[in-house]
């Protein structure tokens, strides 16, 4: 703590003691009587011991109007300068923009012309390629058509030959079926005939066997009768 500040604290403390020890004024609602000379001396002492910064601050406060006027004038000067510089910058920017736009337009026109030329070149080459492809396709189509006609003729001839062969085989098949039917009918007739002959043979043999059995039975009965006679 510096000596000046210490002196200020002492002066403030002395003022506090004077006020605290002052006599009350009757019927005054809290007022008191203090010695004027002592208070004035203390205030003078307090004023004399104020730091230089406080004095400077007071001087600045007293000069604030002048400082504000100077600041406003400087601000207006800077504003005018800034406005002038801004107008210059805007003008330069506009000129630069016009230059850039002009350059961009020229480049655009050049690119469009170049693109149009390339497009026309590509279109011409595409037309030539399309004509070549169409010509090749036409030749290939004709070759395929001729080959197809030859194959068609071969297929028709083969089909006709196969038809003739199938027709011939059909006639043979029909003859075979007729012959098979005839053989089947003959076989059935032979079977029926053989069955009738077998039946007749069996019946004849059974009849003969029956006759033989009857003769044997009569012989047996006769022999038994002979045996029973005394």
For the stretch 217-228, pLDDT in tens is 877 777 777 766
- Specify the residue for token string 């001729």: 146
Half-sphere exposure of 206 (CA within 13 A, CB side): 6
% of the chain at pLDDT higher than 70: 79
The answer, yes or no, to whether residue 183 has pLDDT greater than 50, is: yes
| pLDDT of amino acid 193 | 82
| pLDDT of amino acid 1 | 47
| pLDDT of amino acid 171 | 74
The answer, yes or no, to whether residue 87 has pLDDT greater than 70, is: yes
Query: What residues are paired with 24 via a beta bridge?
Result: 32
pTM as predicted? 0.28
If pLDDT is split at 50, 70 and 90, which confidence band does 15 have?
Answer: confident
Please report, for residues 8, 9, 10, 64, the alpha-carbon distance to residue 55 in angstroms, rounded to integers and kept in the order given.
14, 18, 20, 14
Query: What residues are paired with 32 via a beta bridge?
Result: 24
Average predicted confidence (pLDDT) for the chain: 75
User: Is pLDDT larger for residue 62 or for residue 8?
Assistant: 8
Q: What is the distance between the alpha carbons of residues 158 and 65, in angstroms, rounded to a whole number?
A: 126
Q: What is the distance between the alpha carbons of residues 195 and 207, in angstroms, rounded to a whole number?
A: 18
| pLDDT of amino acid 168 | 67
For the stretch 149-177, pLDDT in tens is 788 778 877 777 777 777 667 777 677 77
| pLDDT of amino acid 32 | 72
The domain ranges of the chain are 1-61
For the stretch 113-134, pLDDT in tens is 777 777 677 776 767 776 677 7
| pLDDT of amino acid 52 | 66
34-56: average pLDDT: 72
For the stretch 188-199, pLDDT in tens is 888 788 888 877
Q: What is the distance between the alpha carbons of residues 42 and 55, in angstroms, rounded to a whole number?
A: 18
């Amino acid at each position: 703590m510096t000596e000046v500040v210490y002196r200020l604290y002492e002066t403030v403390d002395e003022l506090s003691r004077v006020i605290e020890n002052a006599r009350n004024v009757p019927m005054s609602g809290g007022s008191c009587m203090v010695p004027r000379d002592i208070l004035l001396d203390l205030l003078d002492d307090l004023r004399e011991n104020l730091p230089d910064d406080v004095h400077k601050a007071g001087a600045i406060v007293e000069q604030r109007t002048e400082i504000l006027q100077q600041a406003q004038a400087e601000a207006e000067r800077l504003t005018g300068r800034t406005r002038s510089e801004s107008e210059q910058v805007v003008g330069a920017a506009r000129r630069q923009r016009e230059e850039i736009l002009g350059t961009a337009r020229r480049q655009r026109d050049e690119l469009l012309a170049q693109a149009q030329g390339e497009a026309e070149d590509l279109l011409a080459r595409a037309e030539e390629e399309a004509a070549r492809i169409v010509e090749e396709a036409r030749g290939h189509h004709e070759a395929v058509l001729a080959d197809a006609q030859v194959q068609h003729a071969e297929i028709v001839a083969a089909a006709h030959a196969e038809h003739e062969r199938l027709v011939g085989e059909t006639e043979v098949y029909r003859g075979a079926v007729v012959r098979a039917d005839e053989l089947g009918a003959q076989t059935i007739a032979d079977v029926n005939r053989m069955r009738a002959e077998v039946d007749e043979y069996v019946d004849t043999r059974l009849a003969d066997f029956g006759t033989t059995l009857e003769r044997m039975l009569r012989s047996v009965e006769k022999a038994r009768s002979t045996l029973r006679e005394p």
